[in-house]
Every structure is written in structure tokens, then in C-alpha cells.
Structure 1
Amino acid sequence: YLGAHLSVGFFSFPYFSEFDIFLPHRDNITVFIERGTVPPPTNACNIIFQRRRSFTLIIKPGERAIFSFDCPDPAKHYVLEVQKSIDCMAGPCPFGEVQLQPSRLPALNRTFIWNVKASPKVGLELKFSSPRLRQIRPGDTCPDLVTYSISGSIEKTAANIGTFCSNGTISQIKMQGGVKLALHLPWNQNRNFSGFNITNRSSIKRLCIIESVFEKEGSATLMSANYPEGFPEDELMSWQFVIPPYLRASVSFLNYTLSNCERKEERVEYYIPGSLTNPEVFQLGDKQPANMAGNFNLSLQGCDQDSQNPGALRLLFQVLVQHPQNEGNKVYTIDLRSEKSMSLTIEPKPLRTNRHFVPACLICEGPTTCSPNLTLTSGNKYEISFLCDDMTRLWVHAEKTISCADSGYCSRKSYQLLVASDIIQLPVQLRDYTWKLLVPKDKFSLQLTPAQKLQQHTHEKNCETTFSYLLASAVPGQNLYFGSFCPGGSIEKIQVKTNISVVLKTFLPGFSREAFRQGMTVTFIHSLKDEGVFTVTPDSKAKVYLRSPNWDRGLPPLTSVSWNISVPNNQVAHLTFSKERMGVSCETGRAFMIIQEQKAKAEEIVSRDDEPLPKPRDLHHNFWVNISNCSPMNGKQLDLQFCVSLTPKKMDMTVIILAAVGGGATLLFALGLLICYAKKSKKKKVGKGPAVGIYNGNINTQMPEKTGKFHKGRKDNDSHVYAVIDDTMVYGHLLNVSNGSFTGPEVDVYRPFQGPMGDIPPSPPPICSRISTRKLHPEDPLPFFLPESDGEPYTFSHPKSVEVKGNGDNDIPLLEKKELEDIME
């Protein structure tokens, strides 16, 4: 490895292996050795030639050079270039395989360049033996660092055809006129063959023709000359593809730009087997042919460009060759003519990169117009098919916008959030369907009513359906995520204050079987104060778990959310919070949690951010749960989760017994009193007794605000008129009639109001104290609620007489004084 020292005068040079290069004159080869692109430190390594140090060495035809390097690693410092000129104009071309000459070169990164001069009317053909070439994009490198660079010349102007690696489909490249080919080899590559040969052909009348041969499934990425720079003006370039008859080819343009044409038109032309209109002309913006059987040609034609603003024509495209798929025989109809503001995209799922060829999945409109992605828009009808060996590699995204422009029209109309059957019938997975619901600010809010009651996804109870709804605010800058919901729960409706995004997201392939469970009705309602209101009707057989919005990030500052929870008459709700405190630290303001039953004079149970949450409790009526956030500190956010379960209502036996005894005693007392009254009545003279007046309820009974405002006196109105009936018609059922044929009148009882109560959720208390608000201490006993039924009759005691001042119109006796004295007796 290390050589001896050679002394020349008073200099001594350490030298390593010597190299001897002789270049015959007839070979027309020149060798250049020079520093690499990254200059090393001065005197780090030198070329020793003729006992002199130098940084370059040029060996011309007919010369011999013996040289060495004074460093052990010259490959780090120097590169070698071999240039060979072939003149096919002065004499015959040396056709056949091109040899790598000279041999026994130093182990440096080296480049072999062949400059072939030929007449512009002569076509030269470069044939590449196995392995064939594969074109790469500028800036890419080959795995083995063995690279071919090919360029041509047009009227003394070079045109870069491309850069190529091994292991591809390109078998030959035909050039018009001269050609320059460079082979780049790394220093450790012991290759001794060029891999191509040159033959002479007739004129091809275009810049070049690239032939690509497929023997099995695969793909090839190709590009126009000078890519990514502009294609030469008014030039023509072609590609020939050889496809086995049992395979199908599809073309897709990955990137292209157009130049500014003064004359002619930029276009691509196809010669497709079996076509009756060859050549078929396409614009670069058109969808390119697909599912082609047999060999075909593709040509790119430029135009005469504007000299002041030429622009740039460039094209990058891909050819996919694969087996025909059975799905290609099925046609699916998607009718979006009745839709508005909707788009649907079918695209491949993201896959991990694989060095092996994977057949493409294409979506086709018609027999040959196919592409990897297809976007369908509302107002149109489509018929599509698929060229795909595995339909699970595709999925569908859909999006629709529903907005309210006319408030009067919106308030009377409802909208359905429903995935149409045309989309469900596709053989690909529906990844998601997004509805953006937009309303005028502070004028309307939104109400979502699902086709089936929803369950909120929590850790305690996961959604097990094939799809779920994701609800989030669609207001720019508002980071509010209401949660994930799926069918099979207790949430009957969801009301949101402003714009919202509803995303139906599928997780399992069986969505088509569960599609009957999807669907929501959207209506526009009066503007809400809370950001969200959830109406919940719990199932008596299952626990309901509910959590606040933005569970993972915390409720946004100054946001209020409410839950309206129904409790059946014969049930008791058990409310439990998942933790003892809210967990939020307020920077400004206070956070509140409020529980309020929806009954008359119901107390609000309030917990602040600095107080414990209520302990588990039973609630007998419909109730509200409201949370209102403060402006929290970073890291201490508000998130609440609670559980509601129902149990049958149990009646206290002591209350039942006391009620029965008390009721029986009251009944006996009333009977005795009435019997005494009946006996006294018989002692009176024969004839009808005094009449009993029934109060006329059709008059205005409201107390006047000021004296003298009630203009109509008693003599002028009908307030003193009574309908007169016999007293026996009122109390006759208590008389002991001997024949038992008397039929008593019906007796009415008061029943409580059965209508809705508590439609408005409780509001958070102000910062100051609230007298009517009860704060629950964790050690306080739970309030005792008497079981009561909404159908239980009420009993009223006799009111005490109250003197009313006025003009006498409201002082109306119900019974005469004498009759009252008789009754009291």
C-alpha cells in the first residue's frame, strides 16, 4: 500500500500506488483529474506527476501519464472525467457496444462522457441492455449511485432528456442529430462495461423517442425534456409503451404547466390500439386515458411562444400497468342533481411507502377516463367505475354546507343530515361526511334532533357502533368540541348557540348495515344564551354518562353548557359526579355548577370552583345541570363528568299508614257534619229552602290598581247575578233517601298542571351573594323528598274572611248570613 520515498534533489515525496495511463490517438479520449466540488485544505492531497505536485492532470489523445497521489485517500479529494468524441459526420459511426476506456483507472468518483456528432437528419438510437433504465426527478439519487445523464442538441442548443438509474423499463432512446451521454460511477464501483450501444436509424423528425417496455405489473414516472425547466419551443417528443396483452395501462399527469403560445397549441396525442380516431388529442388539463390494452404511444407537442413572455411548458406523468380488475365491469350511479353546496371526493388511503410495486386504485368516468382521485360536485349526475384490486385501499370524503340567508324562510324549514343511498352503495368506505351549519349571529341557534337517541362517548361507556357524530364549533377562532356521539343512548336533542360542524365518521366496514340508524333533523330556533343545551331522557336499565365539552382541553373561558334531564313519574334519578371538585383554577371570575329541579319554588344547589361538588343525590323531578366557566389559569381547566341512573320510586310505609288514618278520620267527620245539617234542614217549614248561589266565573276578577278605575258599578254589571239551584241538588247525595234512587252529582277534584316546566336552564349566580341560593356543604344531609304523584288530588281548607276595601263590587258574599248561621249550628 505504501510505496518507497523517491528523492529528487533536496525534495522527498511520499508516494503511494502509481498509475500508468496511455491514450491511443485513434480513440480520441481525453482524461481529466481535478479537485472535487468541495475543495480540501491546501496541500491536503496532491497529484505527483513528473516529480511535481499539482492539483490537476490532463491526459490528451496519444499521451501517456504515470502519476500517483501523496495521500492515502485521493477519492475524498479528486474526481476523474473521461471524454470521448465520436464523429458520425466525417465517417461511419462505431456502432455496437460502447466500451469503458481506458482501463486501470484510479479509484476515484469518475464520469464517462460520450459526445456523438451526427447530422440533424440522422437519428441515433441508444439501446440499453438489462437492467433497463428508470428516469428520476432532478435532485434524486440512484440507490447504487450509478447514474446516466442524456441530452441532445437542437441547432447547437442542448436539450436535457433526463437522468436515469438502473432497474427500470426504458429500453432505448432515439435522438435526432447529436447526443451526449454521461455515465457517473462512484469510486468503489468496479464496473467495466457501459451498459448501452449505439445504432444508426433514419430520421425520427422530433427531438427524441423514449421506449418503455413492461413485462409485468409496474409503473414508470417520466417527464418532458429540460424538466423542470421549459420544454424547447415548438418541439415534439414521444414515448412508446410496450404492454403485454393481459395487462392494462393508465396514464395520469402528476404535474404540468403551460407556456404562452403565439401560434399553434400545446397538446398531447395518443395512438391507442383499436381507436377509430387516432391520434386522440387531449389538453394537458384533461383526464388522460386509462385501462388501455396493448401498446400505445404518447406525444407532447409544444408551440411558438411569446418572445416577450414565453412561459414554460413542462410535464411530469406516470404510467401504471396492472391486471384488469373485476370492479371495472360494475358501474355506479351517483346523482347529486338535487344537492346544493356539496362535494364528494374518492381517493386512496395513505399507505406506507413500499419498494415493491403496488397496483394502483383508479376511479373512472367512462371506460378510459380514470384517475387516482375523483371529486364529484352537487348539481351533476355521475356514472363511475373502479380499477382496483383491493377496494379497501380507497375511501370517500363528503362535505356539505347548510346556511341560513333568509331568516324568515329558515325558521319554517328543517334540514336532514343524511348520507344518501347513492353514496352508501359504493364499494368503498365512507371515511367521513361533514355538514357545516351556518346561522346569522345572535338571530338564530341550531337544534339537532337525531333519528335515534345518542350516547356520548366516554371512557366508562365507549361507542360500539360503526359510526359516530363529532360535533364542534365552526366559528373561526372558537376552539369548542362538544364531543363524540353515537346511536343507542339517551340524548334526544342537542341545541347549539351558533355555527357548528357535524361530522359523521365511520370506524368499521359495516356502516352500510347500520346506515338505517343515522340521520339528524336540523331546525333553526331562537338564539340561546348557553353554548350548548343537551336534552336527556335516561334509560331505566342503563347508566347515562355525560361529560363537558372540550374534555381533553377544558371548557373554553366564560362558556356555559346545560343538560335538561327528564325523570319519569315512577322513577328516582341518582346523580353522581366522577370527582370531588371541578379542578379549575380561575384567573378572573368564578366557575359554577348548578343543579335545579324543575318544580315550583325549587332551590338551586350551587357549587363554586373553590368548593366541593355535591355528593351523590336522588332527584325526584326533571332537573337541570348547568356549568359556567370562568377565565381559567393555564394548566387548570374545567372538565366535568357525571352519571345519571334511574331506580323505581319507593313509598314510605309510615306515610301511607298516616295518610290512610288521617283520610278516614276526615271522611267520618265530614259525613257526621253533613248528616247533622240534613236533620236540621228537615225541621224547617215545608217548601224549598234558600237557594245556593254559584259564582259567575266569566267576570274579571282582577283587583283594580286604583280606586275609581273600576267604572262600572255593581248595578250596571252582572257580577251580582247567580244561577240558582236547589240545595238538595248540591248536598242531595248525602241525604238518606229510602228508595235509593237518587243519583248524586259529580264531584270535581283539583289536579296539578301537567304541562312543561323549566324550559330555561338556570343561570349562574353573580359574584355577590344570592339569598335564594342554597349552597350545599359536603357534610350536609341530603334533603328528604316526600314521594308524590303528579295525579294526587289536593285538599283545601276554608279561607278566613278578609275585608276588602273598595267600592263594594268585590265584596260579594257566597252565602247569606242566615244560612251561614244555620250551617254553623
Structure 2
Amino acid sequence: KDHSVCALSWFVARIIMLFQGSFAIHLRAADNITVTIKPGSSVPPLKYCKICTGQICKSELRITAAVKEDISFKCETPEKYLVMEIKKNIDCMSGLCPFGDVHLQPSGLPRLNRTYIWDVKANKKVGLELKFSTPWLRQIGPTDTCPDLITYSISSSIDTTKVNIGTFCRNGSVSRVKVQGGVVMALQLPWNSDLTTSGFNIANRSSIKRLCIIESTFKGEMSATLMSANYPLGFPEDELMTWQFVVPSNLRSSVIFRNYSLSNCERKEERVEYYLPAVYSSPEVLKLSDKQPANIPGNFSLSLQGCDHDDQNPGILSLLFQIVVQHPQNEENVTYLIDLRKERDISITIQPKSPHSGRPLQFEPECLICKDLRTCERNVTLTSGNTYDIFFLCYDLEHLRITAEKTIACWDLRYCQKKIYDLTVPRTISQLPVRLDKFTWKLLAPEEISVEISSPSLKLQQHIQEQRCNKSYSYGIVSTTQGKALNLGIFCPGGSIEKIQMRDNITISLKTFALAILCIQSISSCTTEECIFTVTPDPKAQVYLQTPNWFEGLPPYISVSWNITVPNKQVARLAFLKERMDITCETGRAYVNIKEQKPKAEETVRREDELLSEPLLMYHHFWVNISNCKPVNTKQLSLQFWVTFVSQKTGELSLNIWIYSGSHLLIFLFYNRKKESQNPEVGTYNANISTQMPGRHGLFKRRRQDNDSHVYAVIDDAMIYGDLLKTFNGSVNPEVDVYRPFDGPMGDTPPTPPPISFKKATTISNSEELPFCPERDSEPYTFAHRKPEETTSNGDTSVNGTGDVDMSLLESKEQEGVVEQLMPKE
């Protein structure tokens, strides 16, 4: 039963489809209509759908006036393959013109994509007026499409010359179009459209003495985009067209030229002409390059006048403009004086915070910036040496942003040295009720000059993952070195970076508004590093720092240094984020150099093929220098490290616990040694600590493998474990001292990185002397035992018979105090 019902339903649907596929088209002679059915322009030839009349089927059919045809289609979906053109000729020259509504004729046509064309003939001395019913029309570009696919096209026809007046969609402001001479109106409808009226009528005919007049009517706030005839192919030579704007008196209009081009005039001059309300002088004649009127109350008109073209090189005249109609937005008439006469090399731009979105379907109020009553634009640029009276036509000034750029150049070496420039936002900008989005300073100086960035009132914090900036403004700093940009990163106030010293040209960008600004100072010496950071942390701070160009990596052969201050009575702990540099060098070597700023300080050096140092304790101000090589691949060097601080007492306590824990083993060895021998000397072998100092090859006259200084570390028991010995025999009184921080002169230059070879790296045999020998983890930390007979009368250490220099553990007063303070107590 179900199968029977389905079969019947299919049969009925088939009958209905076949019935709908047969049409009777009857064209009366008085209608003067021609119907053409043909394949669509985008249909491939093999997909043609045949049109049948009786027993004859064709790919194209043309039906003329006074003919009746019964047609059918030899395909199930003819609307996919066929289009229909209905053309009606209207004569307004020899007789009465059929004024009134224009109807869609004939009725009962098949549902295909169709185009109705009305070709109206008229004398070229008169103009035909086409009046549109609401919701009127909206002009679009020749390549644009309408949302509902219902499109109107209007052309002028004088003799054999045709000019495209424009293409329009429904729902706009264009209420009437008057065209000189004949007019051709085309209406395109999709096959599924239910539109039953043309939407326009022929109103009258009268002389207009110009190509056309387009009337645009506004009943409320909205904007409209309009174009010159033949846009963008070129306005006809020496022609004139006019736009008339009907605007309620309580609204204001602004004209904004979005795009235009000029032809090459042989005679006359291209221009636009305004007829404005009584508050303006009329007519107002302007060039297309001039600023166009704004804040216009009530009705007005705009005309475009072409010129006589140069026959050899005519050029193209075209114009696309926008008319914005909205309520008055500056009723209080607030004007801001922007005085830039004392400023130099500065440019200020006021513009919307986001790009223009084009032609919105729903009106969005425009934000206009006006320099005077007539010069209003969506974006305005103000330059130094001038004064401006600025007022705004804008509901919400939050839609606007200010960007500014100032160039500071100093080329005289004698004048530039020690010259200080304040990087401040001019007060004339801060008085505007618009947010400052970005202020950029471009600093230009000779190569011999280094530039120092600092602030008398704030220190900077580097914006990185571990310590994000949460301030209302920040600085982006970029150094351009040898044609390459070195992006130092983003910085905000409230950190530990006191100053930054750089070479070459610098760009500093302030994001969002701030009054506390940096200052820059040119100094005489030129650094070997591309950048030096001076870091003065707060004792309670945890400071994170990272190399410039973090995401791209440090460029090849670039060296960066950090001069880090250790607060008084504090110990700094320096640690790196990762264990290795993660690069392989093609040319040169990459180094990390760490050195305390005290006399004869040891320097910790790591190459790119070595593990980075374990966390280090720093008791003095110290340098961190990172130097890059030329890596073998695109991955560059990016390192991050951080510094924390504890008080001297806290630092000693943590070390004391470590030594005390280790002393159980030493004490155990001590008792074993005491049973075997009464010699109060304790020795341990330590193969995991290195004391070799880079660059000090002359310290040992014999090589390490030639002597025994690397085998045992010998320590005088009485000196180190005096308090423990006293517990057993009470006969030894150890010396006691306290740790005193170094307060002598500090280094003012960063540690010099090893020389970088710009030749390709070659294999060095084990027998060759390396040009630079950093620490090796496999070498032991060596204490040479001080023997009484080898000590001079003044306490200096002598050279032993093997040629080695004996170094006492307590050779330094500072080391002596630290070790004794960290001893366990009874």
C-alpha cells in the first residue's frame, strides 16, 4: 500500500512539473516588446537546455511583437541554464510620452533569471525624469552585487553615444534620476523573485542642459556613496552632472571624497561646484583636491564639471564620494587650539581607531575631525610649525585615536656629547579629549655616539611571560644597527632597569597615554656592545631579563650586556631559564660571560656547546654578557635569566646548612685519618668543581697533568674544624672573622667576550693550544697545602720546587670571613 501511494505521488508531481514546463507567450503589437530566451553567459556549451516550440527545439528563441508561442523546456531545471531578456521600446519623441508607472510585461513568463529593459527615446535637448518608489535606490560599483540580486542599471543614450549613469540596488537614498535625451533602464530579477512592479515611473520631461541630475533624499541619519557617470572608466569629456541632496533642516551633511582621478585638460579646468544654504557663500567652486564642505544644514547641491581633454593623452576623470547625514554633534561649539609653532619635526594624526568598514547597510554615525567650518575629514594630520583650531563632529570620541611621531636628530659630535633630550608628550596633545594611542620618537645620531635612555623618576620593567606589564602604558624600544632592527622588547614603569645604552639609531614608541616620560642622553664614548642594560633591583624583587629580539633571536655577532647591582648586605642568585643555548655555530662562537665587579674577580664563561652554569651566588655588582655567533640555521640565540636576592645572613645560613651537611663526611674521614696518623690534615678529591680562570694561562708554569695539584685538596684541620677539635681536647683556638662586602672600585665596562673568528670553524687537534679556554667541569678545584717552611716572613706564598704557585684557601680576607662564618657551632 505504501509503495502504491509513493508511486501515485511521484506521478502527480511529474504531471505538475510537465504542466509547469509549458508556457504560452503572447506579445501584442502595441506593447512593442521583444522576448529572447538564451543560455546564460556562464553556462558551458555541453549543458545547454533546449527550448521547444511544437516539434522544433532550439538553444535560443526570440519572440517578437504580435507573435504567440507555446514553449517548453527539454530539461528539469531550466533556471540553471537559461536566461530571459524582455525589451520594450518607448517613443517619447514623435508623440505623447507614456508618463506614469512602468509595468512588468508580459505576465505569465517562465521563472527564469530575467532582465527587463526599457529603451526610452527622447530629444537630446530635453531630460527624462525617472522617479523611484520607496525604499528608493542605493548606488553600487559596477562589479558589486545586490544582496537580493535585484539590480537597476541606468544609462543615457544620445544619438549613438551611451553613458553609464550608475548601477543601483534597492533600499537607499536615490529618489529620482533625470537624464538628458534618451534613457535605457534595465532591471535584473532572479528566477525566484516575487517582484510584480518595476518600482519606478516616468515622471516628466524638461530641459536640464547637463548629462544628468541625481536626487538623493534623506529623512534621517544615514550615509550614501555616489559615483560619477561611467565610473571608474572616465567621465565624458566636457560634461556636467549634478547631485541634489534633500536633507531635513535639523540634520547636518558632510561631503567626503573617497577616491578620484583627474584627466589631462587642454582647455578649462575640472572642478566641483556647490550651492549651499545661506550660511555659506554660493556658489562655492573647489578643486577635487580641496577639502570639501562639512556640517552643512539643510538642502544643497553638488556639480561635477569636466574639461576638454588632450587628444594625445586624455586621462580619466572619475569621482567616488560619500555624503554623511547626521544630527549636529558639536552643539556646544567646543574648539581646541593646537599650537605646534614651537615644536620641531613632529607629525600628529587623529583618526578612527579601526579602519573604515566601507558602506554599511545600516547607518553608523561618522566621527569627523574639523580644522575649520568646511575642512572636516575622518582623519587629520597636524604638523609642526602650525596652529590649528580643532573641533569634532562625533557622538563618542572613544571612536578616535591619536598617533604621533617626532624625529630627534643630532649630527654635530661636539654638540651631541652629553646632550639631554626629554621625551615628553606635548601638552597641546594632552588637552585633546581623544586617547593617545601611540607616540613614537625616532632618534638619529652619528655612529660614533651612543645613546643612553633613562628616567629621573621611574625604572623600567621588561615585559616577558614571567613578569607581564599591567600598567596603562608601555614603551617599545627598537635599535636599527647596520640596516637591521634589534627589537629590545616592551618595557613599562615599575621595574629594575635604570638605563639602557645603545648604538646607532633608536625608535621608542609609547603605547597609550602617559605623562611620565623618558629622557635620552648622548654620550661621547661608543660601546662595543649593541646594548647595555643597567639594572638596579629592589632588594625584595625577583627580576626577569631576556635577550633582545626574543622571538626571532639575537642577530649574528651581536653582543648584549647587563650591569646588575647587588643591594647592600644582599646576596644575588643568578639562574638561567634553560640548560643550553640551543644553537650550533657556523662561524665564530657564542659565549655567556659572568663576572663580579671586584679586583681579580673570576669570570664564568660558557660556550654554545657547553651547559650553562648552575645558579650562581653573587656578593658584588656583576656583569652578564651574551655574545652570539653566526648559527648554522635560522634559529637564533634567545636566553632568559632571573636574579633573586636574600640578605647576607639568610645567604650564609643556606650555605652553612650545605657545608654542615657535608661536614659529616669530612668528620668521618677525619677520625679515620686520626687513627692512622696524627697529622692534622684532611684531604678530599673533588673532580666536579673548576677554578680555572679564562685568560690566566700564566698562573701555572707547568700543565695540570704534569703536577699533583689536581689530586687532593688539603685543608688544615685546626683552621677549619677548630671548634670541633676544641670539644675533644680543648687545645686549639680557631681564628674567627666576619664577612665584609667589597666596597672598593667597581668595573665600569662589561667583561670583554673572547675574540670572534669570522672564518669558518675548523677542527683543532688536542695538541694545539686553544685561543680561549673556558672552565671545564672535569677539572678539580685545587687547594695547595700551605707548608710552614714555604711561607715567607711577610706571609706571602712562595713558588715551590715544581714551579706551581701554592694558593691557600684563606688567601683572601673575604674568603676567610665567609668560610669561618659558615662553620657549624657547638
Q: Please classify the TM superposition score into its range, dividing by the shorter chain length.
A: 0.7 to 0.9
Match of residue 233, structure 1, among 237, 246, 253 = 237
Which residue in 1 is equivalent to 2:167?
163
Q: Which residue of 1 aligns with 2:752?
A: 763
Distance 1:42 1:753, change over 3 A: closer
- Alignment CA distance shift 1:467-1:194 (3 Å): same
Partner of residue 376, structure 1: 382
Deviations 1:570-629 (A, max 9, x none): 333232222333333333332111111111111111122222222223222221110111
Residues 1:485 and 2:488 are matched in the alignment: no
Contact 2:229 2:235 in 1 (8 A): yes
C-alpha displacement of 1:234: 1.2
Q: Give, as a single letter, the amino acid of the residue that structure 2 aligns with 1:428.
A: V
* 1:141-192 residue CA offsets vs partner (Å, 9 max, x unmatched): 0011100000113453111100000010111111122111000111111222
Instruction: Indicate if the aligned counterparts of 2:537 and 2:565 stay in contact, CA closer than 8 A.
Output: yes
Q: Does 1:503 align with 2:509?
A: yes
How big is the shift at 1:429?
1.7
Matched pairs, number: 675
- 1:199-238 alignment runs, 5 A limit: 199-238=203-242
Q: What are the superposed Cα offsets for residues 305-334 of structure 1, whole Å, 9 maximum, x if unpaired?
A: 222221111000001111222487221222
Q: Is the 8 A contact 1:397 1:431 kept in 2?
A: yes
Structure 2 counterpart of 1:590, which letter?
R
Distance 1:587 1:501 in 2: 31
Q: Is the 8 A contact 1:15 1:69 kept in 2?
A: no
Aligned with 1:449 (options 438, 451, 454)? 454
Contact 2:598 2:745 in 1 (8 A): no
Structure-to-structure mapping, 1:428-447, within 5 angstroms: 428-441=434-447, 443-447=448-452
For residue 78 of structure 1, report the CA deviation from its aligned partner.
1.7
**TM-score, scaled to structure 1:** 0.77
2:597 is the alignment partner of 1:598: yes
Alignment of 1:661-680 (within 5 A): none
Structure 1 counterpart SS, 2:71: strand
Name 2:621's counterpart in structure 1.
Answer: 622
Matched AA of 1:364: C
Give the direction of change, closer, same or farther, for the CA distance of 1:770–1:568 in structure 2 (3 Å limit).
Answer: farther
Q: Which moved more, 1:484-493 or 1:573-582?
A: 573-582
- Please list, as runs of the form range in 1=range in 2, the aligned pairs for 1:124-135 lying within 5 A after superposition: 124-135=128-139
% same residue: 57
- Offset at 1:201? 3.5
In structure 2, which of residues 125, 136, 143 is the aligned counterpart of residue 139 of structure 1? 143
Decide whether aligned partners of structure 1 residues 798 and 15 sit closer, same or farther in structure 2, where only a CA change above 3 A counts: closer
Q: What RMSD, in angstroms, separates the aligned Cα atoms of the two structures?
A: 3.0
Kindly indicate whether the alpha-carbon contact (under 8 Å) linking 2:275 and 2:282 is maintained by their aligned counterparts in 1.
yes
Distance in 1 between the 2:366 and 2:155 partners?
32
CA distance in 1, matches of 2:283, 2:83: 48
- Contact map agreement 1:615 1:778 (CA 8 A) in 2: no
C-alpha separation in 2, matches of 1:427 and 1:420: 14
Residues 458 and 43 (structure 1), Cα distance of their counterparts in 2 relative to 1, 3 Å cut: closer
Stretch of structure 1 that moved more, 151-160 or 379-388: 151-160
Partner of 2:127: 123
Secondary structure of 2:515's match? helix
Shift, 1:798, TM fit: 12
SS in 2 for 1:762: coil
Instruction: Confirm whether residue 396 of structure 1 aligns to residue 399 of structure 2.
Output: no
Q: What does 1:383-782 correspond to in 2, within 5 Å?
A: 383-411=389-417, 413-441=419-447, 443-451=448-456, 452-475=458-481, 477-506=483-512, 511=513, 515-634=514-633, 636-650=635-649, 757-766=746-755, 775=775, 777=777
Using a 3 Å threshold, how does the CA distance of structure 1 residues 626 and 83 change in structure 2: closer, same or farther? same
- Superposed displacement of residue 19, structure 1: 1.3
Following the alignment from structure 2 to structure 1, what is the Cα–Cα distance between the partners of residues 228 and 206?
A: 23
1:632, distance to aligned residue in structure 2 (A): 2.3
CA displacement at 1:276 relative to structure 2: 4.6
CA contact (8 A) 2:538 2:567 kept: no
Separation (CA, whole Å) in 2 of partners of 1:550 and 1:55: 67
TM-aligned CA deviation for residue 649 of structure 1: 3.2
1:303 and 2:302 aligned: no
Q: Distance in 2 between matches of 1:115 and 1:652?
A: 101
Choose 532-541 or 631-640, whichever is displaced more: 631-640
Structure 1 pair 590–475 and aligned structure 2 pair: CA distance change class (3 A): closer
Q: Where does structure 1 lack aligned partners over 5 or more consecutive residues? A: 6-13, 654-750, 784-795, 800-825
In structure 2, the CA distance between the partners of 1:298 and 1:779, relative to structure 1 (3 Å rule), is: farther
C-alpha offsets along residues 775-809 of structure 1, whole Å, 9 cap, x if unaligned?
274998999xxxxxxxxxxxx9799xxxxxxxxxx
Per-residue Cα deviation, 1:238-267 (whole angstroms, up to 9, x for no partner): 111111222211110000011111222211
Distance 1:128 1:475, change over 3 A: farther
Q: Deviations over 1:23-52 (max 9, x none)?
A: 111111111112221343347421112421
Which protein shows a greater Rg? 1
Question: 2:539, 2:645 within 8 Å by CA — same for their partners in 1?
Answer: yes
Residue in structure 1 matched with residue 286 of structure 2 by the alignment? 282
Match of 2:736 in 1: none
2:742 and 2:292 mapped to 1: Cα distance?
72
Structure 2 matches for 1:324-403, cutoff 5 A? 324-326=328-330, 329-350=333-354, 355-403=361-409
- The structure 2 residue matched to 1:87, chosen from 84, 91, 96, is 91
| Superposed CA offset, 1:204-234 (max 9, x none) | 2211111111112111000000000111111
- Residue 566 of structure 1 deviates from its aligned partner by 1.9
Match of 1:377, as an amino acid?
Answer: T
Are the aligned partners of 2:453 and 2:518 in contact in 1 as well (CA < 8 Å)? no
The superposition leaves residues 522-544 of structure 1 with CA deviations (integer Å, 9 ceiling, x where unpaired) of: 32432221110011111123222
Summarize deviations over 1:417-476 as a string: whole Å, max 9, x none. Answer: 2111111222222111112222333x2222112242111112222212111111112347
User: 1:536 and 1:413 mapped to 2: Cα distance?
Assistant: 23
Cα distance, 1:89 vs structure 2: 0.9
2:329–2:395 Cα contact (<8 Å) kept: yes
Residue 581 of structure 2: SS of its match in structure 1?
coil
How far apart, in 2, do the equivalents of 1:782 and 1:378 lie? 68
Structure 1 residue ranges (4+ consecutive) displaced by more than 6 angstroms after TM superposition: 1-5, 751-755, 767-774, 778-783, 796-799
Gaps of 5+ in 2: 1-9, 654-739, 757-767, 784-792, 797-826
Cα 1:390/1:494, change in 2 over 3 Å: same
TM-score (norm 2): 0.77
User: Is the alpha carbon distance of 1:41 and 1:283 closer, same or farther for their aligned partners in structure 2, counting shifts above 3 Å?
Assistant: closer
How far apart, CA to CA, are the structure 2 residues paired with 1:611 and 1:409?
46
Partner SS state of residue 45, structure 2: coil
Distance in 2 between residues matched to 1:139 and 1:774, nearest whole Å: 70
Distance 1:752 1:104, change over 3 A: closer
